Amino acid sequence: MIKTPNLIRRYMFENNGTDFTGNTDATIYSSSYVDGIFGKAIHFSGSTSSYAQFTPWVFNVGCSISMWIDLSTISGNSYFIGGTRRPVTTYYPGISYNSTAQRFLVFTGDIATGMTYVYFNQPSGFVHLTIIRRTSRDYDFYVNGELIGTSNSNGDSAINVYLLGRRADNLVANCSMDEVCFWNAPLSVQNIRRVMMGLHPING
């Protein structure tokens, strides 16, 4: 996959936190590297000291996040993406997978009730995950290029994403990630599948 104007961040985690778009490198804390889909992947141990941090990226309407992620080692409610704290609430935004309830959640930190979940059975290895913010509250989840559901956040605020492996209040995730990409466009199904193969998206 080559650089494209709509690709804002690309963390390949080849034994480092380099952003291959040249924009914002990640700082890696107490994490290891394992075999991934393309070369190496980063593994977060589920400790509060194991995470990646970078300059915040705003998950606006019409933007996408894509990655390969191994959820098989997650236990309980685990936030694998974390955002900066909401200034007018005591809540911490993020995106989670709950292995007990078998579901994904987008939590914006506006309100702690009324959100809807995307249900997905815990996989045994890496899957390709894409999250697209369709509206101010609706986030589509794709696994391996197939739409599995929409999470309604019940809040309009954008998540200022700056953590992988935990949320800002230390709700952690024991998981591995590869090819974590942030896009300023809503990826089409065709382009999700091209990204899965390491190919350049067509027309964004």
Q: What is the pLDDT along the chain (204 residues), one digit of tens a residue?
A: 445 669 999 999 999 999 999 999 999 999 999 999 999 999 999 999 999 999 999 999 999 999 999 999 999 999 999 999 877 677 899 999 999 999 999 999 888 788 999 999 999 999 999 999 999 999 999 999 999 999 999 889 999 999 999 999 999 999 999 999 999 999 999 999 999 998 877 654
Question: Cα–Cα distance between 143 and 64 in angstroms, integer?
Answer: 13
Reference 43, options 169, 170, 173; nearest CA is 173
What tokens does 98 get?
A: 């709950």
Question: Cα–Cα distance between 54 and 9 in angstroms, integer?
Answer: 10
State how far the alpha carbon of 48 is from the alpha carbons of 69, 79, 82, 171, 186, in Å. 19, 11, 12, 8, 32
Place of tokens 């994904």: 104
Question: Cα–Cα distance between 136 and 31 in angstroms, integer?
Answer: 33
Please state which of the four CATH numbers 3.40.50.720, 2.60.120.200, 3.20.20.70, 3.100.10.20 is assigned to the domain occupying 7-196: 2.60.120.200
Reference 68, options 8, 26, 16, 129; nearest CA is 129
Place of tokens 């952003």: 19
- Rg of the chain over CA atoms, in angstroms? 15
Place of tokens 């070369």: 39
Residue 138 near residue 62, CB atoms below 8 Å = no
0.85 surpassed by pTM? yes
Residue 184 near residue 62, CB atoms below 8 Å = yes
Spatial strand order of the sheet with 94-98 comes to 27-29, 51-59, 159-164, 77-83, 94-98, 103-107, 118-119
